[in-house]
């Protein structure tokens, strides 16, 4: 079949090793207290691993642009959903409840 | 073998709505990528809820996360990553026209690794949580701080890992069917779209776990 | 490509309807045309169930303290009406019936990309319908089609699970249909059919399919979470243990707002086809209309919070959602302007499909403008939860989407069945529907403005006159819908035989016999013309 790129075994194994190393890294970093840095690092590593799997194992690197658009669209829509929902949940307490409305029943604040 | 020869050798391969095996292959791949985008949104709904609650109740979620064994999570991560490698090699073996036993072998190892993941998850992790009375809705008793939030954490833990496990089980089923097809010699360098498409699905299940592991097991540092 | 249209009708009389007989050939078909008809039967049945619920509601509302049904039953009626009309009629209507039938024909393909998946979609739809019908028969559900928590998750004593399961299952039917269309449109266009030669109906189906695949999964998982909550009482939406009921609303409306665009975008696509055909002109600003479809699909995902302005949502989020809601009106308005410009100096004929298209343009505009009242935060405080909202969405969904569906069914009926329907009855029915519709729903704008709440079985006496008008209108509307049901069925046996192109319209679907052969085209067409290249074809006088 024309145009079907055949990825060398070495590349696959290389990606595998990189993934294992990143998994080890993320596990190790969890034991290093970095506050919010832990979450940021963990997510960054997860995104890197996802990129490796998608680009090489899923052949996205060698495919037409359309598959990239599809997966970027999926991720973008997920980002929209999380961001706009969060925009409500985390700005609710910006407007205080008027004092004559009875006991304050607001969502617990972000810690 | 040329494309026409392949179609002649296996007359059922090219569906009548497609003009060529190439178009058919491209269409099936695109179809699976779109399906994976829907899965992103499917898991995404739970992840949205999870993100919100984790931000609001971080201490409770940290508490809950500490009940999970990082070792098992890490081992499972390794198992799935290895299974992705063997799956990619299975697809590649058909691409290069290897003997069917090679493809079958890679598929079989992938299935075994998937089964290993499930065994670890169900037998070592979930059963342990059940014994520890940490299953919301069925048997949940917890005497420490933030009980409501720890329960919420475990809701998400079981729901997310359960949903993931369901997808994995379906994946193993699909691989079983592919093994049958491989055994019958259906795959060749001209026709391996089912393998590639199943591979995409399998890698996606791996990616979901790549996110679930840090999100559930490694919260707030240990 | 020029095909001798007269020659087509003298060729072999084997087509998709008579190529094989027997129930198995229909229930196991993978022909997109037959699947479209299977959907037509299913959604018409569901429409009748949903309409029955509406009839009972309007009867109840004839009197301020009506005695037709108990308030608890009324709650079940409006819930069932909403669930069935939204999920089991409007959402599948144009995409699953007209889309399935026409997409391959319009792009010059033999079928959709995944025909077996297409059939599976229909079976999934039927399964979901069965769960919902079970719910209807065995006691109903009273949460409203919106299933708000914590009522649905903790307090309702009705068949919430059956209804949620029915919708969950049917969602997968939508997802698979959308997936099928996207792949088909990308990969199976005939040679020469570039993106900008596609009919605008295809652009709108494509945009709709994007919403199908990216939005529906969220509804599925939300209903799944609701089910877990209801069965296991774990607290995801329960404030007493830290859950947030508003989270449900966010997740629910993330899908359900784009869902309303699933309902209207295909109708807009139909209107583009009808306006072009019956003005005998190219659509003015083709690329603007095409890009507007995509813009609507995208922006529709950014506005869902406008359903939650008074729910306790953050006012800052409300500001963002309000702004986005104003923005989403722009591409819709662009389309209305373009259709109007197309009509200008067009050679217009007032056949039944055109009457529906013109009705759409007017009624959709009214519905859309009233949506702006609701998008504005201050006015929404007063209008939310009143009949103003009910009137607004019925103007779009019935005055818009259903009219688009009816117009499309009439326009392509000769292609689908090979028969013509009686023209005078069709035009009469269109006018009756238009009149009945306005009499039903315009008073509801006034009722809402005056403060009558929605979802109430009783109301203060001063609202009675308007309610009686609305019920009278509903009766006329109901009669209006029955008329096409009768003559369309009649025409399948007794209608005059239609040639390949009775409307002398442009488009690949008219270049093949009516009804089409199983493989759609004898040879794959090669496209050399732009879409709607009408200038070269002299107009035909419409039959009087």
**Cβ B206 vs Cβ A46: under 8 Å:** no
With an 8 Å Cβ cutoff, the interface of chain A facing chain C consists of: 66, 73-74, 77, 80-81, 84-85, 87-92, 94-95, 107-108
Q: What is the pLDDT of residues B3-36, one digit of tens each?
A: 666 555 566 788 999 989 999 999 999 999 999 9
Q: Cα separation of C261 and C209, whole Å? A: 11
Q: How many domains does chain C have?
A: 1
Q: Cα separation of C162 and C165, whole Å? A: 5
Q: Evaluate whether residue C44 is within a structural domain.
A: no
Give the three-state DSSP class for B43.
helix
Best CA proximity match to C273, nearest among C285, C282, C263: C282
Q: How many domains does chain A have?
A: 2
Instruction: Give me the helix-helix angle, B100-119 and B147-183, nearest 10°.
Output: 160
Length of chain A: 111
Best CA proximity match to B51, nearest among C225, A45, A89: A89
Q: What is the pLDDT of residue C387?
A: 97
Give the three-state DSSP class for C420.
coil
Mean pLDDT across chain B, nearest whole number?
A: 92
Q: Evaluate whether residue C394 is within a structural domain.
A: yes
Q: Evaluate whether residue B2 is within a structural domain.
A: no
Tokens standing for B124? Answer: 């070592």
Residue-wise over B99-116: b if at least 16 C-beta within 10 A, else e? ebebbbbbbbbbbebbeb
What average pLDDT score do residues B181-203 get?
A: 94
Q: Evaluate whether residue C451 is within a structural domain.
A: yes
Q: Cα separation of C130 and C278, whole Å? A: 40
DSSP secondary structure letters along C255-303: HHHHHHHHHHHHHHHHHHHHHHHHHTSPPTTHHHHHHHHHHHHHHGGG-
Q: Cα separation of C61 and B81, whole Å? A: 62
Q: What backbone phi and psi angles, to 5 degrees, belong to B188?
A: -155, 170
Tokens standing for A33? Answer: 């207290």
Q: Cα separation of B32 and A74, whole Å? A: 13
Q: Evaluate whether residue A13 is within a structural domain.
A: yes
Tell me: do A14 and A50 sit in the same domain: yes
Across the B/C interface, how many CB contacts are shorter than 8 Å? 108
Shortest distance, CA B194 to any CA of chain A (angstroms):
14
Q: Evaluate whether residue A100 is within a structural domain.
A: no
Q: Evaluate whether residue B13 is within a structural domain.
A: no
Which residue from C minimizes the CA distance to A71? C214
Q: What is the pLDDT of residue A110?
A: 43
Q: What backbone phi and psi angles, to 5 degrees, belong to C214?
A: -95, -25
| Euclidean distance between the first and the last CA atom of chain C, given in angstroms as a whole number | 32
**Cβ C353 vs Cβ C278: under 8 Å:** yes
Q: How many domains does chain B have?
A: 1
Tell me: do A40 and A72 sit in the same domain: no
Q: Evaluate whether residue A105 is within a structural domain.
A: no
Q: What is the pLDDT of residue A93?
A: 83
Domain range for A80 is 64-93
Tell me: do A3 and A54 sit in the same domain: yes
Q: Evaluate whether residue C60 is within a structural domain.
A: no
Question: Computed over its alpha carbons, how large is the radius of gyration of chain C?
Answer: 23
Q: Evaluate whether residue B110 is within a structural domain.
A: yes
Shortest distance, CA B52 to any CA of chain A (angstroms):
7
Chain B positions touching C179 (Cβ under 8 A) are 31, 34-35, 38
Which residue from A minimizes the CA distance to C321? A84
How far lies B48's CA from each of A56, C16, C164, C226, C319, in Å? 28, 46, 20, 15, 21
CATH code assigned at B71:
1.20.120.80
Best CA proximity match to C90, nearest among C208, C206, C184: C208
Q: Evaluate whether residue A101 is within a structural domain.
A: no
Any chains having at least 3 CB pairs less than 8 A from chain A are B, C
Give the per-residue SS3 of C196-232. HHCCHHHHHHHHHHHHHHHHHHHHHHHHHHHHHHHHH
Q: What backbone phi and psi angles, to 5 degrees, belong to C345?
A: 60, 25
Q: Evaluate whether residue B105 is within a structural domain.
A: yes
Per-residue pLDDT of chain C (544 residues; tens, 9 = 90+): 455 555 554 455 889 999 999 999 999 999 999 999 999 999 999 999 999 999 999 999 999 999 999 999 999 999 999 999 999 999 999 999 999 999 999 999 999 999 999 999 999 999 999 999 999 999 999 999 999 999 999 999 999 999 999 999 999 999 999 999 999 999 999 999 999 999 999 999 999 999 999 999 999 999 999 999 999 888 899 888 889 999 999 999 999 999 999 999 999 999 999 999 999 999 999 999 999 999 999 999 999 999 999 998 999 999 999 999 999 999 999 999 999 999 999 999 999 999 999 999 999 999 999 999 999 999 999 999 999 999 999 999 999 999 999 999 999 999 999 999 999 999 999 999 999 999 999 999 999 999 999 999 999 999 999 999 999 999 999 999 999 999 999 999 999 999 999 999 999 999 999 999 999 999 999 999 999 998 754 555 444 3
Chain B positions touching A89 (Cβ under 8 A) are 52, 55-56
Q: Cα separation of B134 and B113, whole Å? A: 27
User: Please, what is the Cα angle at C394 between C389 and C395, to 5 degrees?
Assistant: 100
What average pLDDT score do residues A74-85 get?
A: 95
pLDDT reading at A56 higher than 50:
yes
Tell me: do A22 and A36 sit in the same domain: yes
Cβ–Cβ contact C312 with A under 8 A: yes
Domain range for B63 is 19-217
Place A111 in a pLDDT band, splitting at 50, 70 and 90: very low
Tell me: do A45 and A21 sit in the same domain: yes
Give the three-state DSSP class for C15.
coil
Nearest to C222 among B37, B45, B159 (CB): B45
| Euclidean distance between the first and the last CA atom of chain A, given in angstroms as a whole number | 56
Q: Cα separation of C27 and C536, whole Å? A: 43
Number of CB atoms found within 10 A of residue A14's CB = 13
Tokens standing for C463? Answer: 């609202």
Tell me: do A13 and A58 sit in the same domain: yes
Question: Computed over its alpha carbons, how large is the radius of gyration of chain B?
Answer: 21
Q: Evaluate whether residue B14 is within a structural domain.
A: no
Tell me: do A57 and A3 sit in the same domain: yes
Number of CB atoms found within 10 A of residue B82's CB = 18
Q: What is the pLDDT of residue C1?
A: 45
Q: Evaluate whether residue B120 is within a structural domain.
A: yes
Nearest to A74 among B41, B52, B96 (CB): B41
Tell me: do A18 and A46 sit in the same domain: yes
> Do the Cβ atoms of B92 and A71 come within 8 Å?
no
Q: Cα separation of C251 and A108, whole Å? A: 20
Domain range for C388 is 349-417+421-495
H helices present in C87-114, as ranges: 91-92, 100-107
Chain A positions touching B84 (Cβ under 8 A) are 16, 19, 53, 57
pLDDT: is A101 or B146 the higher one? B146
Q: What is the pLDDT of residue C10?
A: 47
Chain B positions touching A71 (Cβ under 8 A) are 33, 36-37, 40
Longest dimension (CA), chain B: 70
Q: Evaluate whether residue C389 is within a structural domain.
A: yes
Q: Evaluate whether residue A109 is within a structural domain.
A: no
> Do the Cβ atoms of C301 and A77 come within 8 Å?
yes
Chain B positions touching A109 (Cβ under 8 A) are 56
Best CA proximity match to B197, nearest among A59, C483, C401, C286: A59
Q: What is the pLDDT of residue A2?
A: 52
Number of CB atoms found within 10 A of residue C538's CB = 9
Q: Which residues contact C43 (CB under 8 A, 6 or more apart)?
A: C88, C89, C92, C93, C96, C97
H helices present in C283-386, as ranges: 286-299, 315-343, 352-375, 377-383
Question: Computed over its alpha carbons, how large is the radius of gyration of chain A?
Answer: 22
Tell me: do A30 and A75 sit in the same domain: no
Length of chain C: 544
How far lies B96's CA from each of B100, B106, B177, B178, C500, in Å? 11, 14, 21, 17, 49
**Cβ B119 vs Cβ B137: under 8 Å:** no
């Amino acid at each position: 079949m024309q145009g079907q790129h055949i990825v060398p075994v070495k590349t696959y194994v290389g990606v595998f090793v990189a993934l294992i190393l990143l998994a080890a890294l993320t596990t190790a970093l969890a034991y290093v207290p970095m506050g919010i840095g832990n979450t940021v690092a963990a997510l960054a590593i997860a995104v890197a691993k996802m990129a490796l799997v998608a680009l090489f194992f899923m052949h996205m690197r060698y495919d037409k642009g359309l598959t990239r658009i599809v997966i970027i669209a999926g991720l973008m829509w997920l980002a929209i959903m999380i961001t706009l929902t969060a925009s409500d949940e985390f700005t609710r307490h910006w407007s205080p409840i008027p004092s004559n409305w009875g006991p304050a029943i607001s969502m617990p604040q972000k810690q | 073998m040329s494309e026409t020869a392949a179609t002649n050798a296996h007359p059922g391969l090219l569906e009548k709505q497609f003009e060529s095996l190439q178009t058919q292959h491209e269409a099936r791949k695109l179809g699976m990528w779109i399906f994976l985008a829907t899965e992103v949104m499917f898991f995404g709904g739970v992840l949205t809820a999870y993100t919100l609650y984790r931000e609001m109740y971080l201490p409770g979620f940290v508490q809950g996360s500490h009940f999970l064994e990082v070792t098992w999570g890490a081992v499972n991560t390794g198992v799935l990553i290895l299974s992705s490698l063997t799956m990619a090699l299975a697809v590649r073996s058909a691409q290069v026209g290897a003997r069917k036993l090679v493809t079958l072998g890679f598929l079989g190892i992938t299935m075994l690794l998937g089964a290993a993941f499930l065994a670890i998850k169900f037998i070592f992790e979930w059963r342990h949580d059940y014994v520890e009375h940490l299953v919301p809705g069925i048997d949940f008793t917890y005497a420490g701080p933030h009980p409501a939030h720890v329960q919420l954490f475990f809701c998400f833990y079981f729901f997310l890992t359960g949903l993931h496990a369901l997808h994995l089980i379906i994946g193993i089923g699909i691989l079983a069917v592919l093994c049958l097809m491989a055994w019958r010699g259906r795959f060749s360098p001209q026709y391996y779209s089912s393998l590639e498409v199943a591979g995409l699905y399998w890698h996606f299940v791996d990616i979901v776990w790549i996110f679930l592991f840090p999100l559930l097991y490694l919260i707030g540092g240990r | 490509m020029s095909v001798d249209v007269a020659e087509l009708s003298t060729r072999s009389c084997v087509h998709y309807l008579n190529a094989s007989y027997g129930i198995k050939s229909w229930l196991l078909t993978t022909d997109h045309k037959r699947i479209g008809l299977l959907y037509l039967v299913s959604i018409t049945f569901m429409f009748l169930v949903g309409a029955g619920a509406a009839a009972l509601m309007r009867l109840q509302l004839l009197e301020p303290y009506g005695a037709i049904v108990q308030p608890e039953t009324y709650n079940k009626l409006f819930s069932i009406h909403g669930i069935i009309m939204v999920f089991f009629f409007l959402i599948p209507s144009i995409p699953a019936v007209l889309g399935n039938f026409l997409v391959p024909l319009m792009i010059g393909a033999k079928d959709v990309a995944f025909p077996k998946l297409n059939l599976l979609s229909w079976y999934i739809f039927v399964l979901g319908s069965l769960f919902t019908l079970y719910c209807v028969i065995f006691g109903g559900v009273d949460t409203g089609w919106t299933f708000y928590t914590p009522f649905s998750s903790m307090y309702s004593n009705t068949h919430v699970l059956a209804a949620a399961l029915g919708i969950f299952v049917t969602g997968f039917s939508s997802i698979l249909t959308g997936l099928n269309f996207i792949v088909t449109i990308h990969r199976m266009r005939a040679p020469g059919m570039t993106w900008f030669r596609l009919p605008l109906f295809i652009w709108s189906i494509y945009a709709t399919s994007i919403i199908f695949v990216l939005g529906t999964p969220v509804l599925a998982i939300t209903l799944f979470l609701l089910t877990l909550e209801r069965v296991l009482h774990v607290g995801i939406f329960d404030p007493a243990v830290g859950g947030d009921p508003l989270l449900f609303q966010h997740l629910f409306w993330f899908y359900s707002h784009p869902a309303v665009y699933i309902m209207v975008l295909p109708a807009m696509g139909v209107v583009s086809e009808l306006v072009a055909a019956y003005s005998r002109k190219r659509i003015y600003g083709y690329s603007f209309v095409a890009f507007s479809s995509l813009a609507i699909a995208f922006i529709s995902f950014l506005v869902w919070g406008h359903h939650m302005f008074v729910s306790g949502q953050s006012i800052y989020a409300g500001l963002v959602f309000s702004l986005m809601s104003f923005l989403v009106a722009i591409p819709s308005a662009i389309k209305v302007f373009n259709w109007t410009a197309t009509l200008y100096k067009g050679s217009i004929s007032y056949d039944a499909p055109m009457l529906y298209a013109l009705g759409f343009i007017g009624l959709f505009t009214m519905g859309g403008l009233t949506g702006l009242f609701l998008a504005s935060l201050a006015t929404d405080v007063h209008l939310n939860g009143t009949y103003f909202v009910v009137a607004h969405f019925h103007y779009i969904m019935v005055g818009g989407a259903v009219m688009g569906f009816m117009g499309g069914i009439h326009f392509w009926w000769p292609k689908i069945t090979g028969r013509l329907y009686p023209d005078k009855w069709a035009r009469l029915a269109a006018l009756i529907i238009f009149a009945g519709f306005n009499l039903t729903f315009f008073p509801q704008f006034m009722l809402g403005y005056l403060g009558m709440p929605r979802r109430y079985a009783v109301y203060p006496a001063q609202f009675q006159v308007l309610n009686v008008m609305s019920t009278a209108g509903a009766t006329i509307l109901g009669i209006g819908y029955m008329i096409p049901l009768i003559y369309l069925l009649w025409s399948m046996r007794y209608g005059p035989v239609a040639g390949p192109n009775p409307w002398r319209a442009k488009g690949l679907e008219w270049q093949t016999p009516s009804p089409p052969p199983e493989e759609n085209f004898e040879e794959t067409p090669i496209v050399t013309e732009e879409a709607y290249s009408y200038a070269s074809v002299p107009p035909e006088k419409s039959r009087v």
